[in-house]
Amino acid sequence: MVRPRRLRGTAAMRRMVAENRVHPADLILPAFVREGVSEPVPIASMPGVVQHSRDSLRKAAVEAAEAGLSGIMLFGVPEEDKKDAVGTPGTDPDGILQVALRDVRAEVGDALVVMSDLCLDEVTDHGHCGVLDAEGTVDNDATLERYAEMALVQASAGAHVLGPSGMMDGQVGHVRRALDEAGHQDVALLAYTAKYASAFYGPFREAVNSSLTGDRRAYQQDAPNGREALRELELDLAEGADMVMVKPGLPYLDVLRQIADASPVPVAAYQISGEYAMVEAAAERGWVDRERAVEETLTAFKRAGADLILTYWATEFAARLR
């Protein structure tokens, strides 16, 4: 009799036949750094995640490298009164994200791939991912100019990889040209290729002290559309994306699988703030086993075809694997 259960009987047997496993090198830690604080500030909706001080970020980067992670993705949280309509802290060479990039590069050198979020929502007073026109709509092409300027200061500050995440049309090509013309031809782009307007970004708003009212549905993808992600993939590849990403993670595993099957470049999945918060909250109530739930979600990304996973559990999980 055929008995698939034969291969499930012991932990050693299951380990031997596992089709997918998560390796520390698959993992990238997203990290927030807040201007003007001397101690890390907890993020209530993301238990265990903080807005780092410059010092605590450096320590977190060292721990990430020691745990064997591949990279760290930095998000800057400027002082509230520095935000404005065009996101000036994003292009200030001494803006918090640029300062943090220099700090982390000074600390870890090339031991981690140091990445930065290339978007305006952390630095604008209206919280949108771009600059607004007279009607209050995000102006695609005016935003591209801002992204190009941001890309240059982030590259100059030492980022190895930039993550254009605003879902503006043409953003990858525009940023690529600006980098190349300025001599930053070796800085890579991790394109947020299929990025969906999602309820699961909720805790991120607290993480970056976002001032957003309304939502991002007019520029991020709409949940019902899977095929459209392949069109975004084609465009990002044509524009020069070095790696592509699907975001959020768990609600879009089908999209991840489609992109993984079609992409000739490495594919990342971003397990976002609300996915993290959901598991942490349920675990806190004793409703799910935290460690098993974390492992199961990360394994799901590998099974769906991800090469890389951005997760707030990256360092903890990698340490567990050691």
User: For the range 54-60, what are the long-range contacts, defined as Cβ-Cβ under 8 Å and sequence gap of 24 or more?
Assistant: 54/99, 54/100, 54/103, 57/31, 57/33, 57/100, 57/103, 57/104, 58/103, 58/104, 58/107, 60/29, 60/31, 60/315
Count of residues touching ligand PBG (by CB under 6 A): 11
Q: Are 256 and 304 in contact (CB under 8 A)?
A: yes
**Binds ligand PBG (CB under 6 A): choice among 196, 204, 252, 313:** 204
Q: How far is the CB of 183 from ligand PBG (least distance, A)?
A: 26
- Beta carbon nearer to ligand PBG, 13 or 44: 44
Q: How far is CA 206 from the centre of its chain?
A: 16
272 lies in the binding site for ligand PBG (CB under 6 A): yes
Question: Which listed residue (59, 82, 83, 195) is catalytic?
Answer: 195
Q: How far is the CB of 109 from ligand PBG (least distance, A)?
A: 25
Backbone angles phi, psi at 190, to 5 degrees: -100, 100
233's CB contacts (< 8 A; 6+ apart) are 193, 194, 244, 259, 262, 263
119 lies in the binding site for ligand PBG (CB under 6 A): yes
131 lies in the binding site for ligand PBG (CB under 6 A): no
Q: How far is CA 252 from the centre of its chain?
A: 15
Cα 212 to Cα 198: distance, rounded to the nearest angstrom = 14
32 lies in the binding site for ligand PBG (CB under 6 A): no
Q: How far is the CB of 203 from ligand PBG (least distance, A)?
A: 7
165 lies in the binding site for ligand PBG (CB under 6 A): yes
Q: Which of residues 208-237 bind ligand PBG (CB under 6 A)?
A: 216
Binding-site residue positions for Mg(2+): 232
- Chain residues binding ligand PBG by CB under 6 A are 117, 119, 121-122, 129, 165, 201, 204, 216, 272-273
Q: Give the residue numbers marked as catalytic.
A: 195, 247
